[in-house]
Amino acid sequence: MHLHIKEDQIATLEETKEHLQYYLAHSTQKIYLNSQFKATLASLDEDGALFVADYKMRILPRSARETKAEFFGKRGWTLHTILMFRKKENCEELEIRAYDHWSTDTKQNAWFTASSFEAVFETIKHKPKWIRIMSDNGAHYHSSELMAIIAH
């Protein structure tokens, strides 16, 4: 395409190419995570659980008519959700529970994430022998401090 466009359009072409690469990478990751999710659900037994953890949104305290800079500013409330999937005893059906955690601190960091997991762990009556955690791979999920906290 470089041979067939004007020189002043090369920067736009490169930018478009970069956006396409990001989109394809995101699509590839989504397909991979979906296949891992299905495989993990298929391997669930009565001793295990699958947690799907994600920061869902930032709830803003003002009007919906804000500028883009205001919208992406570090304020509002954060919603973090953990979905727990378990097999019901003596049954092939799944038990699915959602745990929502709200915070007025908009940081999506390892400490808030760990406290969300702890709240879920404390409410589970029959503790599973193993848990698999899936997420969108945000930095707050695969940091060494979160791994150390959750492992404990």
One domain for residues 16 and 91: no
At residue 2, the pLDDT reads 75
Q: Which domain holds residue 2?
A: 1-43
At residue 89, the pLDDT reads 79
One domain for residues 10 and 75: no
What values do phi and psi take at 96, rounded to 5?
A: -125, 125
Question: Nearest Cα to 86, choosing from 118, 52, 113?
Answer: 52
At residue 70, the pLDDT reads 56
One domain for residues 19 and 48: no
One domain for residues 57 and 38: no
User: For every one of its 152 residues, what pLDDT tens digit does the chain have, with 9 covering 90 and above?
Assistant: 778 888 888 888 888 888 888 888 877 877 877 888 888 888 899 899 999 888 776 555 555 555 655 555 555 677 788 999 999 877 788 999 999 888 777 666 778 888 888 999 999 988 999 998 888 666 556 677 777 777 77
One domain for residues 22 and 50: no
One domain for residues 124 and 50: yes
At residue 53, the pLDDT reads 86
At residue 69, the pLDDT reads 56
Please state the domain count of the chain.
2
One domain for residues 38 and 54: no
Handedness of CA 19, 78, 118, 93 (dihedral sign): negative
One domain for residues 49 and 33: no
**CA separation (Å) from 88 to 47, 120, 135?**
10, 18, 23
